[in-house]
Amino acid sequence: MSVELDVFVGNTTIMDEEVYQLWLDGYTVNDAVKVRMEGGVMDECEASKDVLLSDTMDQYRTFQMCERLLHSPAKLANQLLFQIPPHRQIMLIERYYAFDDTFVREVLGKKLSKGTKKDLDDISAKTGVTLKSCRRQFDNFKRVFKVVEELKGPLVENIRQHFLLSDKLARDYAAIVFFANNRFETGKRKLQYLSFQDFAFCAGQLISNWTVGAVGEYNMVEDMDVDLDKEFLQELKELKILITDKDLLDQHKSLVCTALRGKTKVFPEMETSFKNLSRGLINIAAKLTNTKDVRDFFIDLVEKFIEPCRSDRWTAADMKLYLTHYTNSAHILDTFKHQVVWDRYMGVVKSCIFKMYHD
């Protein structure tokens, strides 16, 4: 008895994006098969459960073999074992390095070490992200950190070039690296309302304005722009004159209050709290030469500025109005000679507070 068969031979590696995502999310083969069945794939393909199991196992093996290449994404384009079209390579890399915001929020600012890795069981239980996925994400953070920590030049660009990530994902990884390097405190209860994207935005501001790289000195130093500019941090001490010189403090208050009068319902509260708020912001600046105070930068902004304003029922618009006039009025003070440092400091502080202040 003769049997006719239609045979198609190709060398392009078959990869199902849904199965790839299930593998990344830490599903076992059997659990992945269940998800696929519930999604109706057997009806679409008229396949039996055994065929579906075999297909899923085959794809999982392919992904596991590709994983070592994904650790160094440039190798994926140059290897000959798997014939993967360029657009599919981009998808594989981008998804492999993608992460859950709920997971990264738990490790943000912590040391990317074995000690933190031991906590992944608890983080998995808390976030609902599978332990396998937590480990992949943590190892990715650690891998990117190790590769870029010795490189000169712009952090985002280094990550983008070495790991072939999209600009958005490279910026998110830059934030993770920057927070891990400077060990910013993000876990305190008062900071829990802030999302990873809130912190990522602030990291972008700090990297662009307060690092050595921000002033274009890449060729002169060994450090990349994960390190804050120590010379700038030292210069911030000069801003203390705004609160230690009584005449200057009174002038500053007068200028700000004149500009604000009649423009907001909370003007009486702004006038009353001006000196305390100004002392809060200036003292944060003056202490940034200390490593611990750098770590506490965000908690200090919340405790010294955001919470007092919130208790006085300032809206986000009130906050914007106040900080704009507070910053600009310093330029009119005759005896204040530190305008460049002031603008560099307040530019970042304003942006971070605007992001962190949720009505």
Q: Given this model, what pLDDT does residue 217 score?
A: 52
Kindly give the confidence (pLDDT) of every residue in the chain, 359 residues in length, as a single tens digit, with 9 standing for 90 and above: 566 655 444 556 778 999 999 999 999 999 999 999 888 777 676 778 888 899 999 999 999 999 999 999 999 888 888 888 999 999 999 999 999 999 999 999 999 988 888 899 999 999 999 999 999 999 999 999 999 988 888 999 999 999 999 999 999 999 999 999 999 999 999 999 999 999 999 999 999 999 987 766 545 455 556 889 999 999 999 999 999 999 999 999 999 999 999 999 999 999 999 999 999 999 999 999 999 999 999 999 999 999 999 999 999 999 999 999 999 999 999 889 999 999 999 999 999 999 999 86
The amino acid occupying position 193 is Y
Q: Given this model, what pLDDT does residue 104 score?
A: 98
75 found inside a domain: yes
Task: Indicate if 351 and 300 belong to the same structural domain.
Answer: yes
CA atoms within 13 A on the CB side of 347: 13
**How many C-beta atoms surround the C-beta of residue 142 within 10 A?**
18
96 found inside a domain: no
Task: Indicate if 151 and 187 belong to the same structural domain.
Answer: yes
187 found inside a domain: yes
Q: Given this model, what pLDDT does residue 223 score?
A: 54
Q: Given this model, what pLDDT does residue 23 score?
A: 97
Task: Indicate if 243 and 200 belong to the same structural domain.
Answer: no
Task: Indicate if 114 and 206 belong to the same structural domain.
Answer: yes
Q: Given this model, what pLDDT does residue 15 score?
A: 87
Collapsing DSSP to helix, strand or coil, 256 comes out as: helix
Is residue 103 within 8 A of residue 116, CB to CB? The reply is: no
Give me the domain span that covers residue 349: 230-356
Domain boundary residue among 160, 179, 210? Answer: 210
What is the Cα–Cα distance from 291 to 183, expressed in whole angstroms? 9
Task: Indicate if 198 and 291 belong to the same structural domain.
Answer: no
47 found inside a domain: yes
Task: Indicate if 105 and 62 belong to the same structural domain.
Answer: no
Task: Indicate if 273 and 190 belong to the same structural domain.
Answer: no
219 found inside a domain: no
Number of domains in the chain: 3
Phi, psi for 228 (deg, rounded to 5): -70, 145
Closest CA to 226 of 201, 197, 206: 206
Domain boundary residue among 25, 55, 85? Answer: 85
Expressed in percent and rounded to 5, the helix, strand and coil fractions of the chain are 70, 0, 30
Task: Indicate if 180 and 141 belong to the same structural domain.
Answer: yes
Q: Given this model, what pLDDT does residue 119 score?
A: 92
Counting DSSP H helices and E strands in the chain, the numbers are 22, 0
